[in-house]
Structure 1
Amino acid sequence: MEEETELIEEEEELYELHYSDLMLVSEQLSQSRQIGEIMKALGPTGPGLLSITGVPNPTTSLRRHLLSLARNLALLSPDHRLRILKEHNLGSDVPLKNPDRSVSSFAMQLRYEQGLESVQSKPSHSVDTLLSSEQEHLDVGTTEEIHDIEFKNLGNTFRKLGFCMMDLGLRIARICDKAIGGQELEQSLLESCAAKGRLIHYHSALDNLVLSEAGESKATTKRQANGRRDDKNSTRNRQGQSKGVVNLDSNGSEVGSSGIHSNLWQQWHYDYGIFTVLTSPLFLSSQATEPNDPFSLSCNEECPSPSGHTYLQIFNPYKNNVCMVKASPESFIIQVGESADIISKGKLRSTLHCVSRPSKLGSLSRETFVVFLQPAWNKTFSISDYPMKQFMSCHEETNHSEQDHNKLTQEIGKIIPPLSSRLKDGMTFAEFSRETTKQYYGGSGLQSNR
């Protein structure tokens, strides 16, 4: 781990695009200097990311409200959580009954026609107004549990924030189209008709102890007191001995990890859509109410990032290094996916990334909301003008570099299937996404046993 620590001391401070400039450039498309800076950040020699700052309400209020719900939703009992999710048309792409999971993810399809027009035409509405429309559809009686009241606006907040973030992504696509020529990126997004929103809670170590204890308590309700104590002790021992981390892949499935990749919340991968729009993360510090008993009821409070970073890490093959991403609080991050890389003929660079887990901070959890913008499933890819160099994997590139001794670089390359093995000329986005998922996480995939 010492070698890894040395590598990630570098940080990537993202190019910041103010919301007012985003609106100006995307609507008038006359700011050539600004367009150049955007393409520099998202292009082949940049990090493949930028951040948008100064986004006005209701978006920032929606972000804070939604992220504050993630941990409590993750720690509900399975039956109670299932009922809440059904009420708000949410699903999950990880097995939420697994108490050893390191992430809890809640997902919803977001259709463009349902909200983008209202987002763009009514930016001044308060968050209270935006959240009120769902309340009349819910029957929250006085005997309902407190959590039902807490989550009464969950679905509406999810959709509204998702629509705002979709609008940010569409505007960036429009700007990139202006720089590249044509309208293929923006049109590809609109033709898909929908994006995927995902609210993610990255568990603290205490969260997993609480989940395991809750599972043990339910299973041993009828046992005698001594039996429960033995079960509690055995649960603690199992948790103390467990060093493996279960990670969330880009398609929402859980993947194990080992060795040099073990201290990750989310394993190394490329997103395979066009753009991924992320909120800057919210960090919560969890504490047991009884200091000598980590299984006692826990409380949590918002705290700043302990390092000042987002804990999103990126790998830059041109610099052959790993950097921790730094972004302003309450900003929104735009990240390039492989489909944008392909459609732009390499003028945009997809970002190889993971989410690292802070060492020695077992009480820290991370909350974020992500919107995946992708082309229509029947979108056909042409690779006739795509630069062949970018078909190589990270591993193939570093074999010929001067830093061939860099262990982390080599290890990352070994678990990333090269684009050349996943993309063929004339392939549809549906075929590309299936092949990508298979080669990462299928039975013989490069990350199937990690």
Structure 2
Amino acid sequence: MAALAGIAEPVTISYNDLINAKDTLVDPISRAFGSNEDALGIIVVNQLPPEYPSLRGRLLKLAHKFGSLDELVRSKYSDPLSNYSFGWSWGKEIMNGAPDTLKGSYYANISIPGPESAINEDLRKSYREYYGDNIWPSQEPGLEALEEAFVSLGRFILDIGCDLATACQPFVSSQLRDNSVTLSEMIKTSPITKARLLHYFPPPNTSTTPDDEPVDSWCGFHKDHSLITGLCSAMYLSRPSDCPAQPIIVPSPSPSSGLYIKTRGGDLRRVAIPADALAFQIGEALELATDGNLRATPHCVRVGGGSNAISRETFALFMQPDVRRQISTKETFGEFSKRVFAEHYQGIM
């Protein structure tokens, strides 16, 4: 494998500027999301409200606790009727042409019910991936707080994502296909804001050396199909042999572990998100809605060698429009999603 590039410094803005000085952010947003070849399609928001570290830490440790259960227990919280898009999902998603067993996901809808919360039954049946019921492992010892932790962090990210969408409006207003609503309104009024809690299992022993390891060894290259995705920095956890029930936070397995992004110009870059910050990525739905003026960038996750006893926990919030929203001349968001699901969940749809 060719030598990997060093860490890229993503465009970073402060939470205070996002709230109080949105009119000053057109330039950094343009550098992060625009047409320049170095654009990573990601922006970092730092100096967040003080409650963020505890919200993140609590939920990601619960992700590890759930992911460490026996699969017979975890599978009780799966939902085949929604194509495994609510509750626990493991080994169902296709990555690199094969079922992905290196990570498991826990999905839930964190939308705040609005005046259109009553969805007709035909729509519900047509889009079970979005209009299912949340599932929580509240009966499992130590996981009683998962629902509250999941929803609290999800809505914290959603609020900041809506502020970012407002700041993006001057940049996207002339490019959005549908100007009847703002980007922020598309997100705020959507009844299908989905979040994904991710547990990357400790990698199996392998004879592959770090230099030969594929860059997408922990998660294959993909694009998110949202408008904007909010993303927490990953937490790495190890289970000490003398006390496996009490995992400890550890550094990443190696300097080459983590998130890799292909820039708009096609160069591969490793991107580190500070633990006390949030990142927001452009999704493919926004690429379609702006005729490609904003682009979703392919990204993946690399193990990077190191200990095989370390798991990776993270959380992603997919801010997306209602399934009925037209995002291109040919498709609604719901129709576009069906194409994406069919590609990544072959044999399930």
Q: Confirm or deny: 8 A CA contact 2:14 2:45 kept in the other structure.
A: yes
Q: Confirm or deny: 8 A CA contact 1:18 1:52 kept in the other structure.
A: yes
For residues 95 and 262 of structure 1, the distance between their equivalents in structure 2, rounded to whole angstroms, comes to 20
Shift in Å at residue 196 of structure 1?
Answer: 0.7
Aligned with 2:26 (options 23, 35, 39): 35
User: Which one-letter code corresponds to 2:249 in the other structure?
Assistant: E
Aligned with 1:321 (options 255, 263, 267): 267
Aligned with 2:334 (options 430, 440, 445): 430
1:13-32 to structure 2, matched below 5 A, reads 13-25=9-21, 29-31=22-24
Identify if the C-alpha distance between structure 1 residues 102 and 339 changes in structure 2 by more than 3 Å, giving closer, same or farther: same
Q: Confirm or deny: 8 A CA contact 1:287 1:363 kept in the other structure.
A: no
For residues 171 and 44 of structure 2, the distance between their equivalents in structure 1, rounded to whole angstroms, comes to 19
User: Which one-letter code corresponds to 2:233 in the other structure?
Assistant: S
User: Which one-letter code corresponds to 2:30 in the other structure?
Assistant: M
Shift in Å at residue 321 of structure 1?
Answer: 1.7
Identify if the C-alpha distance between structure 1 residues 58 and 241 changes in structure 2 by more than 3 Å, giving closer, same or farther: closer
For residues 146 and 261 of structure 2, the distance between their equivalents in structure 1, rounded to whole angstroms, comes to 31
Question: SS at 1:152's partner residue?
Answer: coil
Match of 1:165 in 2: 157
For residues 109 and 435 of structure 1, the distance between their equivalents in structure 2, rounded to whole angstroms, comes to 20
Q: Confirm or deny: 8 A CA contact 1:288 1:299 kept in the other structure.
A: no
Q: Confirm or deny: 8 A CA contact 1:93 1:106 kept in the other structure.
A: yes
Shift in Å at residue 10 of structure 1?
Answer: 2.5
Shift in Å at residue 298 of structure 1?
Answer: 7.3
Tell which structure's C-alpha radius of gyration is larger: 1
2:170 aligned with 1:178, yes or no?
yes
Match of 1:280 in 2: 233
Shift in Å at residue 93 of structure 1?
Answer: 2.5
For residues 152 and 298 of structure 1, the distance between their equivalents in structure 2, rounded to whole angstroms, comes to 16
Match of 2:283 in 1: 337
2:322 aligned with 1:369, yes or no?
no
Aligned with 2:143 (options 145, 148, 151): 151
TM-score under structure 1 length normalisation: 0.60
Question: SS at 2:241's partner residue?
Answer: strand
For the aligned residue pairs, the C-alpha RMSD in angstroms reads 3.1
Identify if the C-alpha distance between structure 1 residues 50 and 308 changes in structure 2 by more than 3 Å, giving closer, same or farther: farther
Gaps of 5+ in 1: 115-137, 141-146, 209-239, 244-258, 290-295, 383-424, 444-450
Match of 2:87 in 1: 91
Aligned with 2:251 (options 279, 286, 304): 304
Q: Confirm or deny: 8 A CA contact 2:226 2:283 kept in the other structure.
A: yes
Match of 1:417 in 2: none
Q: Confirm or deny: 8 A CA contact 1:278 1:332 kept in the other structure.
A: yes
Q: Confirm or deny: 8 A CA contact 2:109 2:193 kept in the other structure.
A: yes
For residues 48 and 362 of structure 1, the distance between their equivalents in structure 2, rounded to whole angstroms, comes to 31
Gaps of 5+ in 2: 80-85, 93-99, 115-136, 174-178
Q: Confirm or deny: 8 A CA contact 1:44 1:346 kept in the other structure.
A: no
Q: Confirm or deny: 8 A CA contact 2:77 2:87 kept in the other structure.
A: no
Identify if the C-alpha distance between structure 1 residues 62 and 427 changes in structure 2 by more than 3 Å, giving closer, same or farther: same
For residues 157 and 63 of structure 2, the distance between their equivalents in structure 1, rounded to whole angstroms, comes to 18
Work out the number of aligned pairs and report it: 302
TM-score under structure 2 length normalisation: 0.76
User: Which one-letter code corresponds to 1:112 in the other structure?
Assistant: I
Q: Confirm or deny: 8 A CA contact 1:174 1:185 kept in the other structure.
A: yes
User: Which one-letter code corresponds to 2:263 in the other structure?
Assistant: N
User: Which one-letter code corresponds to 1:101 in the other structure?
Assistant: T
More helix as a share of residues? 1
For residues 324 and 138 of structure 2, the distance between their equivalents in structure 1, rounded to whole angstroms, comes to 40
Residues 37-83 of structure 1, C-alpha deviation per residue, up to 9 Å, x if partnerless? 12211122211001111111323211110011111211113454466
Aligned with 1:69 (options 62, 70, 77): 62
Aligned with 2:185 (options 174, 184, 187): 187
2:330 aligned with 1:442, yes or no?
no
1:370-449 to structure 2, matched below 5 A, reads 370-382=316-328, 425-440=329-344, 442=346
